[in-house]
């Protein structure tokens, strides 16, 4: 099959960018989207042209590195799918695809489809940790946790920090990501000592990074490859309000 790509090319954050058209013939329908980009880059290198820069690592949908807008949708048209899990069999011969990087003030473009997502790392560093004694691992049954809390915590912990929620949100909010990281620790007994300070610090850091405010539009949940639920935002807001009120 033949695919026509319109890819955003930009040398760095300061340089102007533009969409560049590429023809990719003989695309195997079993290729992943990233493998298709690999084929394009091999052709560009063979022609002496600069390859398209894009993020990738595990290519198994668990690292959160890959990410681009495909025809205006983060990670492409399939739900609960990362870009590396998106296969070309979901497109038709002759399709034209527009591929762009995440668009957010807090995610400055590094080059082409690569953006700097270190803002997420700083949000985690602000409060995404627990106090725990060093030494040997505790017994697995030493701390009892209800199944409901354990399940909800594991669901929130599934967030891979890819940034699709930010890219798709019209406000470029990081509420789903921050809420997931606050929730998965706040639901566990091990996360209680820092629960209040964690909510204050992580929300403050997200604001400082330039992310927008959540207005409950729900685009973040719709494109999240791990199907993180909006309820984590409600839990984050609840923890933040309680912590803020207790400081007064």
Q: Given this model, what pLDDT does residue 210 score?
A: 97
Q: What are phi and psi of 66, to 5 degrees?
A: -70, 155
132 and 240 housed in the same domain: yes
Q: How many domains does the chain have?
A: 2
User: Alpha-carbon distance 115 to 96, whole Å?
Assistant: 23
175 and 226 housed in the same domain: yes
| Residue labelled with tokens 């760095």 | 12
122 and 229 housed in the same domain: yes
The C-alpha torsion from 123 through 125 and 128 to 132, rounded to 10°, is -170
132 and 226 housed in the same domain: yes
Q: Given this model, what pLDDT does residue 234 score?
A: 97
User: Hey, CA dihedral for 63, 66, 71, 72, is it positive or negative?
Assistant: positive
Hey, what are 35's tokens?
A: 């493998």
Domain-terminating residue out of 75, 93, 110? 110
What secondary structure letter does DSSP report for 74? E
97 and 128 housed in the same domain: no
239 and 139 housed in the same domain: yes
CA 39 to chain centre: 25
User: Alpha-carbon distance 41 to 52, whole Å?
Assistant: 6
Count of residues in the chain: 248
93 and 38 housed in the same domain: yes
The CATH number covering residue 36 comes to 3.10.20.30
CA distance readout (Å), 13 to 16, 17, 19, 20, 161: 8, 9, 15, 17, 22
> Of the candidates 100, 132, 106, 88, which has an alpha carbon nearest to the alpha carbon of residue 207?
106
pLDDT tens-digit profile, the chain (248 residues): 999 999 999 999 999 999 999 999 999 999 999 999 999 999 999 999 999 999 999 999 999 999 999 999 999 999 999 999 999 999 999 999 999 999 999 999 999 999 999 999 999 999 999 988 778 877 878 888 999 999 999 999 999 999 999 999 999 999 999 999 999 999 999 999 999 999 999 999 999 999 999 999 999 999 999 999 999 999 999 999 999 998 76
Q: Hey, which residues does 7 pair with through a beta bridge? A: 20, 99
Report pTM.
0.94
User: Alpha-carbon distance 72 to 196, whole Å?
Assistant: 37
37 and 131 housed in the same domain: no
User: Alpha-carbon distance 4 to 13, whole Å?
Assistant: 26
Boundaries of domain holding 155: 118-246
- Beta carbons of 22 and 4 less than 8 angstroms apart: yes
The CATH number covering residue 202 comes to 1.10.1060.10
User: Alpha-carbon distance 178 to 205, whole Å?
Assistant: 10
Domain-terminating residue out of 110, 145, 168? 110
Give the CA angle between residues 194, 65, 3 to the nearest 5°: 150
Which residues, 6+ apart, have CB-to-CB distance to 190 below 8 Å? 130, 132, 143
Which residues, 6+ apart, have CB-to-CB distance to 105 below 8 Å? 172, 210, 211
The C-alpha torsion from 22 through 26 and 30 to 36, rounded to 10°, is -30
52 and 135 housed in the same domain: no
125 and 105 housed in the same domain: no
Q: Given this model, what pLDDT does residue 246 score?
A: 87
127 and 232 housed in the same domain: yes
Domain-terminating residue out of 56, 89, 110? 110
205 and 136 housed in the same domain: yes
């Amino acid at each position: 099959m033949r695919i026509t790509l319109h890819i955003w090319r930009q040398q760095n954050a300061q340089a102007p960018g533009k969409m560049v058209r590429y023809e990719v013939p003989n695309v195997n329908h079993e290729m992943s989207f990233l493998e298709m980009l690999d084929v394009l880059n091999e052709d560009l290198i063979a022609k002496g042209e600069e390859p398209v820069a894009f993020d990738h690592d595990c290519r198994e949908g668990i690292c959160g590195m890959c990410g681009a807008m495909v025809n205006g949708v983060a990670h492409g048209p399939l739900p609960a799918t990362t870009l590396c899990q998106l296969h070309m069999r979901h497109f038709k011969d002759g399709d034209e695809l527009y591929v762009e990087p995440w668009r957010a003030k807090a995610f400055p473009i590094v080059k082409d489809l690569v953006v700097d997502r270190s803002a997420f790392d700083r949000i985690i560093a602000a409060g995404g940790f627990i106090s725990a004694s060093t030494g040997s691992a505790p017994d697995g049954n030493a701390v009892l946790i209800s199944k409901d809390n354990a399940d909800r915590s594991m669901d929130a912990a599934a967030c891979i920090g890819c940034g699709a929620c930010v890219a798709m949100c019209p406000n470029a909010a990081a509420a789903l990501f921050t809420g997931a990281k606050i929730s998965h620790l706040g639901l566990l007994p091990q996360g209680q000592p820092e629960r209040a300070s964690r909510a204050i610090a992580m929300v403050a850091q997200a604001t400082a990074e330039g992310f927008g405010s959540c207005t409950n539009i729900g685009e973040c949940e719709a494109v999240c490859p791990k199907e993180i639920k909006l309820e984590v935002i409600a839990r984050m807001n609840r923890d933040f309000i309680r912590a803020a009120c207790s400081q007064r």
